[in-house]
Structure 1
Amino acid sequence: MANVIRNTLTTAELAALALSLAHLGTGPQSVTARRGLRHAFQHLDLNDDVTATTLTTLTTPLPTDVARRARVIANAITARLVLQIQYRDATGRMTTRNVEPVTFMAHRDHWYLVGWCRMRSGIRAFRLDRVAAVEPTDLPARPHLPERYLPFQRRAAA
């Protein structure tokens, strides 16, 4: 006997569930859990190519090494601690940055850490697969509202 619960989840709730599933890897419940997440997305317009691609990213397990770093980042978000990351940009240049983590997001084919970069004095999105190393510090991070810092958002026409 199956029980069905119909509720609308917020974007932040869906992203948190998706990240949890990404951590789940290929465990025994992962297929069922990802199927459940796909059902949660049924109200979205999947005719939009960006949304469809992002949904695939949200429901695909992260590689083991990336998932391990994502767990460290998630713990720092919860504890509101600054992270020190080794980040390789699109050109291959490696930098060390202190980042106040705000949230995770998926966009198209990639997961991102969204955070306040102390080196650049601004909000940045760091592709998780380009984060070579991550280490929490003992420095407290300022609280940031994720809704104010999400890149790739569709903006209303002025």
Structure 2
Amino acid sequence: MKPNACPLTTAEIAALALSMAHLGSGPQADAARSGLRHAFQHLEVDDDVVAATLTTLIEPLPASVADRARTIANAITSRMVIRLHYRDVSGRITVRDVDPVTCMVHRDHWYLVGMCRMRGAIRAFRFDRIVATEQTFVPARPHRAEGFLPFQGKRAERARHAA
């Protein structure tokens, strides 16, 4: 790595990993995950939470979850509202329209991060609790990923002070 090179941001890692997550299995997906694994080998990781998160990033998603991830990725790319049928922790299913912003991984789980129109607030939706996804043709309101990802501001601030 070049001495002055900037590390990947949380948003960049999330975008790369999401692009691979819905590939499923096969030679291209395996090669892409190998490349991401190689990139992570050069990161200094001493935190168990970070190590678990990186492992989750390079594991293939189950086929049904990968299908929903593809719909989510398309909604993020096309900047369209996505309709989620979401099962909360107590088992209730709600239907929510979300302005999708980005995806992230924390420990063992993938999350869609976006502005929930039902709650009028930023929410993170665990992929394995998303029962179904529907594309809409409603434009999403613009939101910067950096404002939605935890610790992004702290990491950027530390990088500025280290430079």
Please say which of residues 25-34 and 112-121 is displaced more in the overlay: 25-34
Question: What is the match of residue 47 of structure 1?
Answer: 46
Does 1:73 find its partner at 2:72? yes
Show structure 1 runs of 5+ residues with no match.
none
- 1:37 is displaced (CA, Å) by 0.5
Question: What is the match of residue 15 of structure 1?
Answer: 14
Deviations 1:75-104 (A, max 9, x none): 111111111110001111111111110001
Check conservation: 2:82, 2:135, Cα contact below 8 A.
yes
Q: Which amino acid aligns with 1:71?
A: R
- 1:155 is displaced (CA, Å) by 7.0
Does 1:128 find its partner at 2:127? yes
Does 1:109 find its partner at 2:136? no
- 1:43 is displaced (CA, Å) by 3.5
- 1:45 is displaced (CA, Å) by 2.9
- 1:126 is displaced (CA, Å) by 0.0
Please say which of residues 23-32 and 54-63 is displaced more in the overlay: 23-32
Show structure 2 runs of 5+ residues with no match.
155-163
RMSD, aligned CA: 1.8
TM-score by structure 1 length? 0.87
Distance of 1:32 and 1:97 partners within structure 2: 35
Secondary structure of the equivalent of 1:45?
coil
Question: What is the match of residue 36 of structure 2?
Answer: 37
Summarize the Cα distance change of 1:13–1:97 in structure 2 as closer, same or farther, 3 Å threshold.
Answer: same
The structure that is helix-richer by fraction is: 2
Secondary structure of the equivalent of 2:22?
helix
TM-score by structure 2 length? 0.85
Question: What is the match of residue 98 of structure 2?
Answer: 99
Check conservation: 1:9, 1:40, Cα contact below 8 A.
no
Check conservation: 2:84, 2:133, Cα contact below 8 A.
yes
